[in-house]
Amino acid sequence: MLGEVTDNSNRGRAFSLLGLSMGIGSICGPMVGGLLSQPALTFPSWFDTPFWREYPFLLPCLVSAAVSTIGFTIGYFNLKETLIRNKNGPEVCDNENSPLLPHANRSNARRPALTRLTLLSLYAFASWAFQQIIFDETYPLYASTSLGRGGLGFQSKDIGVSLSMLGILTLFIQIFIYPRLERKYGALYLYRAALLGLIPAFVAVPFVNAIAKARGSERGRTEDGQIDWLVWGALMSCLGWRIFFNVVSFTSVTILVNNSVTDPANLGTVNGVGQCAAAGVRTIGPALAGAIWSWSLSSSLPLKHHLVYHILVVLVLVQFVEALFVIDGKGLSAFETESVPESSFSDSECSIEIEG
In degrees and rounded to multiples of 5, residue 93 shows phi and psi of -85, 120
Considering the domain boundaries, does residue 108 fall inside one? no
Average pLDDT over residues 105-128: 81
Residue 21 belongs to some domain of the structure: yes
Q: How far is CA 99 from CA 84, 96, 285, in A?
A: 13, 8, 44
Residues 75-84 have pLDDT tens digits of: 889 888 776 5
Of the pLDDT bands very low, low, confident and very high (cuts 50, 70, 90), residue 19 is: low
Higher pLDDT residue, 31 or 113? Answer: 113
Give me the CATH number covering residue 167: 1.20.1250
Does residue 140 form part of some domain? yes
Residue 186 has pLDDT above 80, yes or no: yes
Domain of 156?
2-98+114-336
Identify the pLDDT of residue 353. 44
% of the chain with per-residue pLDDT over 90: 40
Phi-psi region of 219 (alpha: psi -120 to 50; beta: other; left: phi over 0): left
| Total of domains in the chain | 1
In this predicted model, what pLDDT tens digit does every residue of 321-351 receive, in sequence order? Answer: 999 999 988 766 555 555 444 444 344 444 4
pLDDT digits (tens, 9 = 90+) for 218-266: 778 877 777 889 999 999 999 999 999 999 999 999 999 988 888 878 8
Answer yes or no: is 60 within a domain. Answer: yes
Instruction: Give domain status of residue 8, yes or no.
Output: yes
**pLDDT tens, position by position, 45-70:** 888 899 998 998 899 899 989 999 99
Q: Is residue 86 part of a domain?
A: yes
Spatial separation of the C-alpha atoms in residues 196 and 199, rounded to whole Å:
6
Higher pLDDT, 205 or 218: 205
| Residue 88 falls inside a structural domain | yes
Q: Is 94 within a domain?
A: yes
* Poorest-pLDDT segment among 13-22, 95-104, 131-140, 286-295: 95-104
